């Protein structure tokens, strides 16, 4: 007997008012527009988007994008004619010059849902740093897809090096990165990252990894404390997140202007 499939649609917003949001849906019909009932709902004042702009409809294990709008819907930069079928990693632009989102799906056998959720997590007696040291780095057929800015980069073999240097497998032009900054590799049936900076600049879920660490689905990967920042979506997929906000440094008291400094002085009490 064929198992029923649970398919999760993940919309990763990369441009527009929803930028940085990741929406997940299990519905067979996903409505798009400005109406309050729409599952992918844009602000009422965003007139570029129609009230009933479009629809993503499941057909078996595939999904069809249907255009209901006046300004059109674009798939990977090409305007669709009424409808088009979606593939994993497709970029949807809701109207020319409008918001953009990346389409992803995750297929889970329904009978395995509870097993996946009940899978035991690592205990505190198995620190990740010790596990990381035991992972050998070797060539693997595993691949990664990395969304950075408006581009998607596919790397079909690992290990792969990311950084500013032209010799890297993926060149990221970011002022905070080193020429060889981070390595992604596959070992022990999972993806790993290795900090190549020697300065513990790479962080995972807000903590420096120091050397290397395995990746789990939904992990947040910071290449430096100032970014770039990525979400690991599983299966070798990385999605750029907004850079972490750093709170402005407080100005030392001795650098304040004389007039402001004087306002902090307490009255001497004379003449009261």
Give the DSSP per-residue string, 73-130.
-EETTEE-SSEEEE-TTPEEESSTT--EEEEEEEEEEGGGHHHHHHPPPPPTTS-HHH
Q: Which helix (H) or strand (E) holds 133?
A: helix 128-133
Question: Quick one: pLDDT band at residue 51, thresholds 50, 70, 90?
Answer: very high
Residue percentage of the chain with pLDDT more than 70: 76
Q: What is the pLDDT of residue 243?
A: 64
Q: What is the pLDDT of residue 152?
A: 85
Class of the 5-109 domain? mainly beta
Assess contact for 156 and 144: CB atoms under 8 A. Answer: no
More confident residue, 70 or 262: 70
Task: Give residues with Cβ within 8 angstroms of 267, minimum separation 6.
Answer: none
Task: Give residues with Cβ within 8 angstroms of 165, minimum separation 6.
Answer: 171, 179, 180
Question: Quick one: pLDDT band at residue 168, thresholds 50, 70, 90?
Answer: very high
Average pLDDT over residues 20-42: 92
Q: Which helix (H) or strand (E) holds 259?
A: helix 258-264
Beta-bridge partner residues of 109:
5
Q: What is the pLDDT of residue 60?
A: 84
- Residue 118: pLDDT over 90: no
- Residue 228: pLDDT over 60: yes
Burial class (CB in 10 A: 0-12, 13-18, 19+), 191: buried
Average pLDDT over residues 189-207: 92
Task: Give residues with Cβ within 8 angstroms of 32, minimum separation 6.
Answer: 38, 39, 40, 53, 54, 55, 56, 94
Q: Dump pLDDT digits (tens) for 99-113.
A: 999 999 988 765 544
Q: What is the pLDDT of residue 256?
A: 43
Beta-bridge partner residues of 75:
78, 92
d(CA 56, CA 65): 5
The yes-or-no answer to whether 5-109 and 144-241 have a common fold is yes
Q: What is the pLDDT of residue 254?
A: 40
Domain positions in the chain are 5-109, 144-241
CATH of domain 144-241: 2.60.200.20
Q: Dump pLDDT digits (tens) for 134-166.
A: 445 666 778 899 999 878 888 988 999 999 999
Lowest mean pLDDT among 72-76, 86-90, 116-120: 116-120
d(CA 156, CA 196): 21
Average pLDDT over residues 231-257: 66
Q: Let me know how many helices (H) and strands (E) the chain has, helices first.
A: 3, 23
Lowest mean pLDDT among 3-17, 54-68, 228-242, 247-261: 247-261
Q: What is the pLDDT of residue 137?
A: 62
Lowest mean pLDDT among 1-10, 156-165, 198-207: 1-10
């Amino acid at each position: 007997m064929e198992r029923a499939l649970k398919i999760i649609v993940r919309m990763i917003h990369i441009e527009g008012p929803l930028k940085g949001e990741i929406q997940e849906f299990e519905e067979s019909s996903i409505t798009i527009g400005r109406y309050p009932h729409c599952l992918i709902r844009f602000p009422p004042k965003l007139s570029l988007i129609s009230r009933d702009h479009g629809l993503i409809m499941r057909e078996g294990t595939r999904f069809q994008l249907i255009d209901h709008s006046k300004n059109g819907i674009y798939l990977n930069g090409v305007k669709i004619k009424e409808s088009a079928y979606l593939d994993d990693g497709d970029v949807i632009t809701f109207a020319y010059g409008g918001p953009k989102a990346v389409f992803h799906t995750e297929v889970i056998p329904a009978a395995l849902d509870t097993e996946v959720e009940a899978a035991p997590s690592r205990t505190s007696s198995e620190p990740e740093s010790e596990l990381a040291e035991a992972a050998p780095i070797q060539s693997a057929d595993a691949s990664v897809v990395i969304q950075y800015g408006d581009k998607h980069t596919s790397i079909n073999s690992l290990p792969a090096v990311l950084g500013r240097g032209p010799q890297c497998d993926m060149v990221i032009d970011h002022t905070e990165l080193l020429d060889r900054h981070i390595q992604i590799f596959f070992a022990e049936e999972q993806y790993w990252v290795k900090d190549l900076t020697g300065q513990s600049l790479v962080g995972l879920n807000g903590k420096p990894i120091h050397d290397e660490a395995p990746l789990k689905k939904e992990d947040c990967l910071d290449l430096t404390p100032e970014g770039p920042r990525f979400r690991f979506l599983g299966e070798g997929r990385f999605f750029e997140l907004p850079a972490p906000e750093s709170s402005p440094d407080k100005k030392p008291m001795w650098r304040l202007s004389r007039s402001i400094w004087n306002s902090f002085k307490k009255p001497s009490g004379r003449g009261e």
